Amino acid sequence: MAIWKNLPSLEQLNAMRANTMIGTLDIQITEIGDDYVRGTMPVDARTHQPYGLLHGGASVSLAETLGSIAAMLCCDPKSERAVGLDINANHLRAVTSGRVIGTVRPIHVGRSTQVWEIRIEDEGGKLVCISRLTTIVVPAQAIPVGKG
């Protein structure tokens, strides 16, 4: 049974990337399951650090993107918004090329807070980064969409 309160299509979610860091890093949402969201990000010049390795900040950007999307899907879009409150990440393996795949699953989905675990793996399925995102749920009018 799906945990989502609203479920846009993959096309709608990916259309939100335009003119954002998500688009700049070419993060793509590829799959939505009953209790997870999966997405990918390239490991290339956009996401490298000076040694040619995947930048830890890029991994955190992927993690926060996936966690924030999952949190959004657990909110009533007419009355609620979820925004990041805290994120941490452990970088476990270097990646120099290809794509990384992130999968977010819930640890806790409450009325006012949500906690998400994001696992980022290389194309061979090896764990690259493990992250945890905490979001807070606020009234929709506190965060107007498309303003900025």
Rounded Cα gap, residues 112 and 80, in angstroms: 10
Phi, psi at 22, each rounded to 5°: -60, -45
Q: 31, 64, 121, 123: which is the annotated catalytic residue? A: 64
Is 11 one of the catalytic residues? no
Q: Give the pLDDT of residue 146.
A: 62
Q: What SS3 class is residue 77?
A: coil
Fold of 10-142: Thiol Ester Dehydrase; Chain A (3.10.129)
What is the value of pTM for the model shown?
0.94
Residues 82, 113 contacting (CB under 8 angstroms)? no
Q: What is the mean pLDDT of the chain?
A: 95
Q: Give the pLDDT of residue 58.
A: 98
Q: Give the pLDDT of residue 148.
A: 46
Q: How would you list the strands of the sheet with 127-139, edge to edge?
A: 28-32, 37-43, 98-109, 113-121, 127-139, 80-91
pLDDT surpasses 80 at 88: yes
Over residues 51-59, mean pLDDT: 98
Q: Give the pLDDT of residue 57.
A: 98
Over residues 38-55, mean pLDDT: 98
pLDDT surpasses 60 at 135: yes
